[in-house]
Copies of this chain bind each other. A is one copy, B any other.
């Protein structure tokens, strides 16, 4: 087949790639760019090579017109003619015999054949996890679909076009939220259910995810959170209702299964797997069999902050495919150094973006929070696994230019070295590119002080002299140096009674702001601009816990108090940090 393309027929290396999406297609094309001599066979079970899976929710929502075909990124013709790939669509690899270095392939018409390889690349991806739901024991009803393959997308499009009105999405991660948002945009009646208390909660912490949940609800999607689907009533081969534990059954016309994915690692028999069944690879993307490589969602890879991790994203998959190709065919780069796990999601008018580690993930990996108020601190400041948190809420651009909205940012860092561990943003579209600054900083091992010193692009329409994504660098640097003294506002609120008992809780906002929201009884209020003249109202013999709206006036008050002999702590990020709202 490859000979048709004009590629030299004397092959020195025969490479078979299983799965021709992001990782597999990248590997195949790069092997060719390095080696004109290699024989390259790509076996893809769908009819769509180089398929842009990430676009599926948007095709379902008609934001992208043209159906399943519209998501083919590199056409079969290009793969065949430009890259000399022997492309075999609608074929499935059923077995790998590593002893004889052959695979068994099933074709669409039910035949099988074997093919020998010198090097094998497994880019087999994932399949939807099907939770233990009553009614699904014998497989998925015809109006229940995942959204991981072109076939899934075709099913969902058919359900939509056949007039499904009531859609139930199981799972509030990327695929679930994007699909729910897109179907709601079409006017469908959409309900989403997740076992976590907020949507996107696996990526975004409990203080950030509520803003995304609210944004989803603002699009008209109904949410059922902190809850599990118990059963699906099936009638005539179709799901007719979904019952969430402890609730009434909800009638449905279609169900999208997006409760997470499981790696398609069945072909990796006898190879080393990770704890969740992903294929383990070394820095060259080689499995425990040096002639077999694996890339993409099916593998575990180094996360630059968290160590070994599972990061099912298209960017890392492509990079891994390139690396595998480099190592197979003898070209650089041939080493995968790890991912920052940067991601972005639109939810209605709001955009969330994340990179590095979440606070939750750090805690699961044994990290502990350090804050300047030692009774609440879990770690010493110089502990190797200490982290600190700041929030900022600066405008996306200067306030005097129309259209500025808050950029809610959470930055997590090591409090003595200043190493940046992770960040989460909720804002407008600029969140997508602002998180990139933090991703680049993590890649380069930059510190919060580097962030403080970085000049980002500024014009009134586009930013501020101190950009909204450098601001957390300013605050975090102050914490490193000890001039910013305090704790994240979320911690102040969580421990409010304890802090009231231990000292004075002081709200330095204006009276008008207090009317809109406040922390209730027992909190002293002195406008920061009057503080110097009213120090006698603040008891000197016990600590003062100051806060304001976004943290800046609290900082000024903290400094005034300290200069006057007080022990003072600021609630970083202020009231806006409590569930990332701008009240």
> What are the residues of chain B within 8 A of A99 when measuring CB–CB?
none
> What are the residues of chain B within 8 A of A530 when measuring CB–CB?
81
Q: Does A269 count as interface, using CB distance less than 8 angstroms?
A: no
> What are the residues of chain B within 8 A of A441 when measuring CB–CB?
440, 444
What's the least CB distance linking A548 to chain B, in Å?
11
What's the least CB distance linking A568 to chain B, in Å?
12
Knowing A313-B458, A440-B441, A483-B331 touch, does A465 contact B318 (C-beta < 8 A)? yes
On whether the beta carbons of B444 and A456 are closer than 8 Å, the reply is no
* Interfacial residues of chain A within 514-551, with CB under 8 A of chain B in the complex: 528-533
On whether the beta carbons of B456 and A342 are closer than 8 Å, the reply is yes
> What are the residues of chain B within 8 A of A452 when measuring CB–CB?
333
Q: Does A432 count as interface, using CB distance less than 8 angstroms?
A: yes
> What are the residues of chain B within 8 A of A460 when measuring CB–CB?
52, 54-55, 58, 64
A455: contacting residue among B316, B399, B458, B533, CB under 8 A: B316
Q: Does A453 count as interface, using CB distance less than 8 angstroms?
A: yes
Type the 1/0 row for A1-15, where 1 means its CB is closer than 8 Å to any CB of B. 000011110000000
Q: Does A220 count as interface, using CB distance less than 8 angstroms?
A: no
> What are the residues of chain B within 8 A of A463 when measuring CB–CB?
344, 432
On whether the beta carbons of A457 and B316 are closer than 8 Å, the reply is no
* Interfacial residues of chain A within 358-381, with CB under 8 A of chain B in the complex: none
Type the 1/0 row for A95-131, where 1 means its CB is closer than 8 Å to any CB of B. 0000000000000000000000000000000000000
On whether the beta carbons of B456 and A337 are closer than 8 Å, the reply is no
Q: Does A564 count as interface, using CB distance less than 8 angstroms?
A: yes
> What are the residues of chain B within 8 A of A344 when measuring CB–CB?
457-459, 462-463
The contact sample of 16 A-B pairs, CB cut-off 8 A, is A33-B483, A36-B563, A37-B563, A52-B460, A63-B401, A64-B401, A71-B400, A178-B459, A337-B453, A339-B455, A343-B459, A344-B463, A432-B457, A436-B456, A437-B437, A440-B441
Top-9 shortest CB links A-B: A433-B433, A6-B532, A36-B563, A444-B444, A344-B457, A432-B462, A81-B529, A314-B465, A6-B533
Residues of A within 8 A of B (CB): 5-8, 22, 32-37, 52, 54-55, 58, 63-64, 70-71, 73, 77-78, 81-84, 178, 313-319, 331-333, 337, 339-346, 351, 353, 355, 398-402, 429-430, 432-437, 439-441, 443-446, 449-450, 452-463, 465-467, 469, 477, 481, 483, 528-533, 553, 555-556, 559-560, 563-564
